[in-house]
Amino acid sequence: MDGFLLIDKPQGPSSFTAVAHVRRLYKIRKAGHTGTLDPLASGLLIVALGQSTRLIPYLSLEPKRYIFRVRFGTQTDTLDSEGKIVYSGGHLPGYTSVMQVCAVFGDGYEQYPPEYSAVRIDGVRAYELARSGKQVRIAPRRIHLHEFRCVNYDVCSGSAEFTVTCSGGTYVRSLARDIARELGTFGFASMIRRTGAGAFSVEQAKNLDDLDGTDASILKASDILQHYQSVVLGKNQMELVSRGRVVVLDTNLKTYETVIAYKENGVLAAVLVRKCPGPDDEHSSVVSEKMNSGPVFHPVRVFHDETGN
């Protein structure tokens, strides 16, 4: 059982727990998600099944889209409502300041990930260090905010709602902290919901409780990888690819670096990357000769059906 599930993860379970539920329900040993959602975050979680886990690096999952709320006046150690309050007594900013704060961040900025995050520091997760009471120092990373705006602010409660379209690697919890800092106060993310990733929307997703363990909800690789050029391999070409050998394709593919190959019956066969012979390539003469007939591609992922073919 191969393919992808678009899941609307609820608040509460971790991404790992959601994937474990999928494994049990679909009676499959191999499954993995394409990007973690915090336990208190909800929204789009893309889960790959079986051999499709090997396709995760080829998915187009940017930009990410979120809706989130910031509660002003206090800050927690985890930067969300799950943590302990570490700062309090901050003022509640005015309506106009909150509605205009997004413009300060422009296209993006150098963002410090939360101390309670999965970032590795000398091989150890940052949240493990934070939980043990050790000082956590995480290097900032450049993130991009393509669209960022405040859609609502309740001055009385000090709660503001934002939407953002951003680059991968953006921590919404850190963004909540930094919004508050820009306004001269404290703040944390009281709600986070991922509404989309790349071409995929949470509106396409299924609730965990609605999954029935059949392939009715599973998207095929061809549905997910539409942003790549595809090619159908003939029997001889398939024989070469299955043995990890280079293959000559049609000249109309010479401008593509990566193509997705299918068998004649429509089953996913391989991910192919265009081959250019290098000076240290022991097969350079063979590749050069083949290039006279058309662009040469070599397989970087080969997929087999249940019969091993």
CA atoms within 13 A on the CB side of 159: 7
| Structural contact between residues 49 and 158, judged by C-beta atoms closer than 8 angstroms | no
Structure tokens at 141: 């990373």
Which residue in 38, 80, 122, 210 is the catalytic one?
38
| Structural contact between residues 302 and 241, judged by C-beta atoms closer than 8 angstroms | yes
State yes or no: is 250 an active-site residue: no
Structure tokens at 270: 């391989």
- Cβ burial of 247 (10 Å; 0-12, 13-18, 19+) is buried
- Whole-angstrom Cα distance, residue 157 to residue 297? 59
Structure tokens at 232: 């159908």
Tell me the sheet residues that pair with 270: 261, 302
- Whole-angstrom Cα distance, residue 230 to residue 226? 8
| Residue 266 backbone zone (phi > 0: left; psi -120 to 50: alpha; other: beta) | left
Cα dihedral sign, 215-43-151-144: negative
Write out the catalytic residue numbers: 38
